[in-house]
């Protein structure tokens, strides 16, 4: 049972480059999320999706794009990378409902923009 | 605007002692309050969670105390162990919007021998 899988684990980008962070889950969860974690700041929601074909902005969406073509995959796209996007990125998934609403997180992607 | 405030930022506790981490929230629509534990190089993992219809929830050595009127909740770790050394995040979310979690800023706990 893999849970939430993120690739790559580490990446160094040059300013202005672009890349896609991959996220896949095998728990058949409808809800998926991207967070970024910066030291002393907790985790901030970038984008989320409540199902295939449906995405919406979170707290800090600028500079990012997402798509959700399948239930399993939720890639995060960085266009024109900037040093401010240096962070650790976490993908998460969960099921809707009042009971057992635990969000499961991947192991993260550490991105450095130089 | 920080909707969930967490303190302290760091905490050192002796083995066997009690670790206490506090959080306060602003949005009265929040109805789910989880605590996540994160070890270095790993993603956060759910530790324990509470809903506002109860004032306390206990799971093993971990207890959440919840004060709805004060809009505060706290995590108590009894008999703290070196293996509990990690970063702890409180969070909050509201029903109907999935689990869009609003996180606190985290507490680095170190349990010393």
- Distances, alpha carbon B75 to alpha carbons A14, A49, B19, B92, in Å: 41, 30, 8, 14
Helices and strands of chain B, counted as H and E runs: 0, 11
Mean pLDDT, residues B84-109: 88
Model pLDDT for residues A18-44, shown as the tens digit of each residue:
999 999 999 999 999 999 999 888 999
Name B9's Cβ contacts closer than 8 Å, sequence gap at least 6: A40, B105, B106, B107, B108
Task: Say whether B101 and A105 touch across the interface (CB within 8 A).
Answer: no
- The verdict on A16 touching B (C-beta cutoff 8 Å) is no
CA dist B78 and A47 (Å) reads 36
For residue A97, pLDDT over 70 is answered with no
Model pLDDT for residues B31-41, shown as the tens digit of each residue:
899 999 999 99
Model pLDDT for residues A75-85, shown as the tens digit of each residue:
999 999 999 99
Q: Which pLDDT belongs to residue B97?
A: 45
For residue B28, pLDDT over 80 is answered with yes
Model pLDDT for residues B48-91, shown as the tens digit of each residue:
999 888 999 999 999 999 999 999 999 999 999 999 999 999 99
Residue B104 with chain A: CB contacts under 8 Å: 42
For residue B19, pLDDT over 50 is answered with yes
Task: Say whether B98 and A4 touch across the interface (CB within 8 A).
Answer: no
- The verdict on B40 touching A (C-beta cutoff 8 Å) is no
CA dist B38 and B32 (Å) reads 19
Task: Say whether A96 and B104 touch across the interface (CB within 8 A).
Answer: no
CB-nearest partner of B99 from A42, A101, A107: A101
Task: Say whether B43 and A50 touch across the interface (CB within 8 A).
Answer: no
């Amino acid at each position: 049972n893999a849970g939430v899988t993120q690739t790559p684990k580490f990446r160094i980008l040059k300013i202005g480059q672009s890349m896609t962070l991959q996220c896949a889950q095998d728990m058949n969860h409808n809800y998926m999320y991207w967070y970024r974690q910066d030291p002393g700041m907790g985790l901030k929601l970038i984008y989320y999706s409540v199902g295939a074909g449906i995405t919406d902005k979170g707290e800090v969406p600028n500079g990012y794009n997402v798509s959700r073509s399948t239930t399993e995959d939720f890639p995060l796209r960085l266009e024109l990378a900037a040093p401010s996007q240096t962070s650790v990125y976490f993908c998460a998934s969960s099921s809707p409902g009042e009971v057992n609403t635990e969000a499961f997180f991947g192991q993260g992607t550490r991105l450095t923009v130089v | 605007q920080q909707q969930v405030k967490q303190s302290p930022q760091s905490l050192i506790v002796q083995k066997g002692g009690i670790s206490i981490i506090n959080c306060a929230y602003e949005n009265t629509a929040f109805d789910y309050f989880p605590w996540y534990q994160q070890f270095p190089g790993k993603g956060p993992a759910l530790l324990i969670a509470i809903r506002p219809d109860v004032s306390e929830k206990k799971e093993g050595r971990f207890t959440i105390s919840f004060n709805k009127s004060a809009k505060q909740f706290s995590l108590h770790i009894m008999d703290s162990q070196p293996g509990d050394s990690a970063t702890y995040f409180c969070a909050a979310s509201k029903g109907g919007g999935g689990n869009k979690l609003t996180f606190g800023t985290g507490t680095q706990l170190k349990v010393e021998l």
